[in-house]
Amino acid sequence: MASHTGKRQSGRHRPPRVAVLIEASNAYARGLLKGIHRHVQEEGNWTIFLPEHGRGDPPLDALARWDGDGAIVRIETPAIARAVEALRTARGISVVDVSAAGLVPDLPCVETDDEAIGGMAAGHFLDREFQHFAFLGDTRFRWSENRRRAFVAAIESAGHEVDVFAASGGAADREDDAIEAWLVSLPKPLAVFTCYDIRGRQAIDACRRAEIAVPDAVAVLGVDDDELLCGLSSVPLSSIIPDAAGAGWQAASLLGQLMAGGRVERSLWLLPPLGVSSRQSTDTMWVDDPMVMKALRFIRRHACDGIKVADVAKEAGVTRRVLEAKFLRYVRHSVHEAIARVQFRRIEELLRSTELPLAAIAARTGFKHAEYLSVAFARRYRKPPSRWRAENR
């Protein structure tokens, strides 16, 4: 096991001075900052040095002049690695890394579990019975390659193949054209896992330009659950939720131990993802029956309009009895349950991301009364909507 010992302890009469070199330009980074903030509120009394900067571009001159006790840094470039090493050598400060790049291997590092993220993405698509899969990543980033390997391994273990587009952040116009051509060339229906939400939006935009229906022909899943990016996409983007706040809290906890002269007995902490935030871009299931697919598309579009099973059967052009039998065979649950799943996914989204009262949420999701929604929600989740909202904000 690796062993790390804090070399410098803060003075008794002042709080520890901690540099936090994490940009705030994306949802994952902001989650890290929230976790650090929570730890400081709960456990510490730190003076925080938080210079403004972009990803991979911290103010290294300011860092060189800074005099403190510890740092939490996202070390993503050789320049950042050199600056951090210089601080450790000259001043003996304690440092915790929160990047997957691994540029300073002997530092304690807290990161998301990319293998678990790739496996969760595979499960999300396999549960929807897809037969064709693809991965859109970014070869500049180690975490993207980690997610690709895990996704490919999980899909191949289920007996399928994955087509990979090795994007590398080239000229935007040429790359967009190449991604569009790639998506057009692949068999449909297609499940596309993208390494993070920016790539997910890029895939959805390429489908829009090529007039490929999302999610009916191509389903797209991202990572980071950046609410603004996902919501502003032309089709709202489903996304895996990493435990960024948990990673920030863990990094701050480790740094506190090191600054107090304690020891850290291992080098790497990996935090599993919290789940999938399902939105419209993967709100589909592929089955080898056109009538069932037609019914599922109708449900997806109208479940929150208060439709009943009879409405779905009429749209599909079959009797209710035939429709129910088909659903049990291909979808493995009833038509009523298919409607309810769409409704409750929308209810979750509104509870999590808005302050709407329950009556307004009921009206938007096909329930006539807030009281009925509350009872149905509590039966399904074993807790009232108010408690679920408080726990999932």
Q: Please give the pLDDT value at position 170.
A: 60
CB atoms closer than 10 angstroms to residue 171? 8
* Count of CB atoms situated within 10 Å of the CB of 244: 25
- Based on the domain organization, do 38 and 107 belong to the same domain? yes
- Residues 303-333 have pLDDT tens digits of 999 999 999 999 999 999 999 999 999 888 8
Residues 138 and 253 in one domain: no
Last residue of a domain, one of 255, 282, 309: 282
* Contacts of residue 269, Cβ cutoff 8 Å, sequence gap at least 6: 108, 109, 110, 111, 247, 250, 254
For residues 123 and 154, the answer to whether their CB atoms sit within 8 Å is yes
Question: Domain residues for 59?
Answer: 4-112+244-272
Q: What is the pLDDT of residue 9?
A: 47
When pLDDT is averaged across residues 371-377 and rounded to a whole number, the result is 96
Residue % of the chain over a pLDDT of 70: 93
pLDDT of residue 11: 47
The pLDDT, as a whole number, for residue 13 is 63
pTM attached to this predicted model: 0.76
pLDDT band at 172 (very low <50, low <70, confident <90, very high): low
**pLDDT for res 310:** 96
Q: What percent of the chain stands above pLDDT 90?
A: 58
For residues 231 and 124, state if they share a domain.
yes
- Considering the domain architecture, whether residues 250 and 237 belong to the same structural domain is answered as no
**Separation CA 55–CA 294 (nearest Å):** 44
For residue 187, name the pLDDT band (cuts at 50, 70, 90). very high
Q: Are residues 105 and 118 in the same domain?
A: no
Q: Is the pLDDT of residue 361 over 90?
A: yes
Do residues 108 and 118 both lie within one domain? no
Task: Express each pLDDT in 68-98 by its tens digit.
Answer: 899 999 988 888 888 888 888 888 889 999 9
- Do 37 and 119 belong together in one domain? no
As a whole number, the mean pLDDT across the chain is 88
Q: What tokens appear for 38 in the block?
A: 């929570």
Phi, psi angle pair for 69, to nearest 5°: -115, -25
